[in-house]
Amino acid sequence: MRAADFIIQALINEGVDCLFGYPGGAIMPVYDALVGAPLKHVLCRHEQGAALAADGYARASGRVGVCLATSGPGATNLVTGIANAYMDSVPVVAITGQVAKPLIGTDAFQEVDVFGITLPVVKHSFLVRKAEDLPRVFAEAFRIAREGRPGPVLIDIPKDVQLAEFSPTPFLTPVEVCEPLPELDIERARAMIASARQPLICAGGGVVIAQAVAEFRVLAEATGIPVVSTLKGLGCLPAEHPQHLGMLGMHGTRAANYAVQSCDLLLVIGARFDDRATGKLAEFAPHARVIHLDADRAEIGKLRAVEIGISAPLKRVLPRLGMALDIAAWREKCAADKREHGFRYDAPMPGIYAPHFLQELSARAAKQTVIACDVGQHQMWVAQHYGFDHPSRHLTSGGLGTMGYGLPAAIGAQFAEPNTPVILVSGDGSFMMNVQELGTIRRYGLPIKIVLFDNQMLGMVKQWQELFFSERYSEVDLSDNPDFCQMASAFEIPARSIALRAEQAEAIAELLAAPGPMLLHVRIDPKANVWPLVPPGANNATMMEGVES
């Protein structure tokens, strides 16, 4: 059979039902093979949009996301999306066309060494030099993307290889060996948990990656240990759960950050001591012994010395750590901090206060709603004020902080869960970075709802320039933004603009009731900042606060 036809069959065999891409010369044989194939191909309007949509699809579905692009600029346009998946451990397979083998290394038209370019941001790369290798390459690529700590894999296929005919032979992937659990370390961890008087759990994105949310909740409730979350760990415990203290770190809650600085044992589950979570690392959890559970052995002890490190599947380890603990006084102290330092939503302003808007949106949206975020102030407001009940419902670019992530991620999530409400929360800066994907929403009639906070600023950069660069504002003014409602209308997406708190409740109701897509343009004060804020170089107990007026 023709290699291009085999590629489509290999995707089907791996359970792929939807892929995101953009055609071009060097990938044209694969696109020819797509004609009539039982695969849903989503034509995005930019290759970066395709890669980020595959990322959103993978996060929402728990399956491997697939994106497709041609050589040269098509492949390089995927790189940001591939890096985003790498930083957040998202299983993605990126397939790129390459110039024919005789042309490789000749600076041929649209030739680029995407294999070399992506080496730092993939789990593995393949350059397929003969069609007979395709069965092995595709089987291994999907296995590598899924297993252990997931991540992106690149398959680069020259055009003449795609056109070659061959007789494929099945490739059997190695059977994953179920290694025995480290019993001694588990028993030591149990003893350490039992002896703690002020234990704390830090939940990270690894919990949902391991599909261990149920086991995590059983452990938390069995022990009664208070829980803080990283950005990607939000929802491991439902937001309203009494043990949940909120997000820790630079824009974390006071209750969460105070608990970290006071605990005597920190049980870190599927998190990696990211700098935005730890603040000044040398002063992070200064009184705590650390137990670190992570699928990636390389993360254990990488940034923080630990007393016990366990690299094993969380679904198998977490049930072994549950026990009843006598920590009533510590639990009450954490609960009191949560009550005393809870967010307030009564800012005395006629305009819209973004935290209050998001709190109301959270209260009124269906529980299963997927929220996709872009990057900036609105991203932190969502993390602080939207109540997630499961981490797979929160799609956000954590490690790379990719502006423009939200719209394509929302598209990917909607294809992954066509009957689930999907809301994009974006800012005026991020929204313009992949705004062309409104065309994808229109083409496929996706019922995605868009909340667009518009402060006519690059808000997070402006906030840092205000606080740490003596209010020397440099290139953050976006007062020449387009009319976003007119822009939405050009894509046949209904839109409404609001600026007053009195309009908020009705507008949210209209947005949620819309039968198809809708954009709600929300004007907010350009002076509004995200609080609290741990300044750079400080520990997490050193939080700055501002006053909203």
CATH of the domain at 190: 3.40.50.1220
Helices (H), 427-541: 428-431, 438-444, 459-468, 484-490, 504-513
**Which residues, in sequence order, are CB contacts of 321 under 8 Å at separation 6+?**
186, 189, 190, 193, 219, 223, 267
Range of the domain at 53: 3-163
- 142 and 278 part of one domain: no
> Is 176 inside a domain boundary?
no
Pairing of strands 152-158, 370-373: unpaired
- 190 and 115 part of one domain: no
> Is 171 inside a domain boundary?
no
> Is 178 inside a domain boundary?
no
- 207 and 154 part of one domain: no
- 67 and 125 part of one domain: yes
321: amino acid identity, one letter: L
Res 549: pLDDT: 43
> Is 316 inside a domain boundary?
yes
Q: Of 284, 317, 340, which closes a domain? A: 340
CA distance 310 to 502: 52
Q: Are 518 and 494 in contact (CB under 8 A)?
A: yes
Specify whether 232 is catalytic: no
Where residue 211 falls (left for φ over 0; alpha for ψ -120 to 50; beta otherwise) is left
Name the phi and psi angles at 370, rounded to 5. Answer: -95, 130
The vertex-532 CA angle with 376 and 390, nearest 5°, equals 65
Q: Are 544 and 482 in contact (CB under 8 A)?
A: no
- 63 and 145 part of one domain: yes
In tens digits, the chain (549 residues) has pLDDT values of: 999 999 999 999 999 999 999 999 999 999 999 999 999 999 999 999 999 999 999 999 999 999 999 999 999 999 999 999 999 999 999 999 999 999 999 999 999 999 999 999 999 999 999 999 999 999 999 999 999 999 999 999 999 999 999 999 988 777 777 889 999 999 999 999 999 999 999 999 999 999 999 999 999 999 999 999 999 999 999 999 999 999 999 999 999 999 999 999 999 999 999 999 999 999 999 999 999 999 999 999 999 999 999 999 999 999 999 999 999 999 999 999 999 999 999 877 899 999 999 999 999 999 999 999 999 999 999 999 999 999 999 999 999 999 999 999 999 999 999 999 999 999 999 999 999 999 999 999 999 999 999 999 999 999 999 999 999 999 999 999 999 999 999 999 999 999 999 999 999 999 999 999 999 999 999 999 999 999 999 999 999 998 654
CA distance 320 to 425: 39
Q: Are 408 and 437 in contact (CB under 8 A)?
A: yes
> Is 231 inside a domain boundary?
yes
Exposure letters 196-224 (e unless 16+ CB within 10 A, then b): bebbbbbbbbbbbbbebbebbbebbeebb
Q: How far is residue 26 CA from its own chain's centroid? A: 30
CA distance 387 to 246: 10
Specify whether 159 is catalytic: yes
pTM for this one? 0.96
Q: Are 317 and 292 in contact (CB under 8 A)?
A: no
CA distance 300 to 320: 20
Count of other CB atoms within 10 angstroms of residue 439: 16
Q: Are 236 and 217 in contact (CB under 8 A)?
A: yes
Res 173: pLDDT: 75
* Nearest residue to 147 (alpha-carbon basis) of 186, 95, 89: 89
- 102 and 73 part of one domain: yes
Q: Are 28 and 2 in contact (CB under 8 A)?
A: no
What CATH number did the domain enclosing 483 receive? 3.40.50.970
Specify whether 333 is catalytic: no
- Identify the active-site residue in 9, 110, 436, 465: 110
Where residue 206 falls (left for φ over 0; alpha for ψ -120 to 50; beta otherwise) is alpha
Q: Which residue is associated with the tokens 């998202």?
A: 90
- Identify the active-site residue in 247, 403, 460, 487: 460
* Nearest residue to 374 (alpha-carbon basis) of 27, 52, 159, 126: 52
- 115 and 139 part of one domain: yes
Specify whether 140 is catalytic: no
- 509 and 470 part of one domain: yes
Q: Which residue is associated with the tokens 């007026």?
A: 549
- Tokens, residue 82: 């591939």
Q: Are 82 and 51 in contact (CB under 8 A)?
A: yes
Q: Of 163, 192, 222, which closes a domain? A: 163
- Identify the active-site residue in 6, 14, 20, 47: 47
- 158 and 19 part of one domain: yes
Res 486: pLDDT: 98
* Nearest residue to 303 (alpha-carbon basis) of 324, 280, 325: 280
> Is 543 inside a domain boundary?
no
> Is 205 inside a domain boundary?
yes
- Identify the active-site residue in 159, 232, 338, 462: 159
Q: How far is residue 369 CA from its own chain's centroid? A: 15
CA distance 256 to 238: 15
Q: Are 544 and 467 in contact (CB under 8 A)?
A: yes
- 286 and 401 part of one domain: no
> Is 532 inside a domain boundary?
no
Q: Which residue is associated with the tokens 């001694």?
A: 184
- 296 and 433 part of one domain: no
Specify whether 548 is catalytic: no
Upper half-sphere CA count for residue 539 (Cβ side, 13 Å)? 13
- 330 and 361 part of one domain: no
Res 261: pLDDT: 97
Res 172: pLDDT: 79
CA distance 395 to 372: 5
Res 390: pLDDT: 97
| Beta partners for residue 522, in sequence order | 453, 498
Name the phi and psi angles at 399, rounded to 5. Answer: -70, -40
Secondary structure class of 155 (helix, strand, coil): strand
Task: Report how many domains make up the chain.
Answer: 3
CA distance 448 to 453: 16
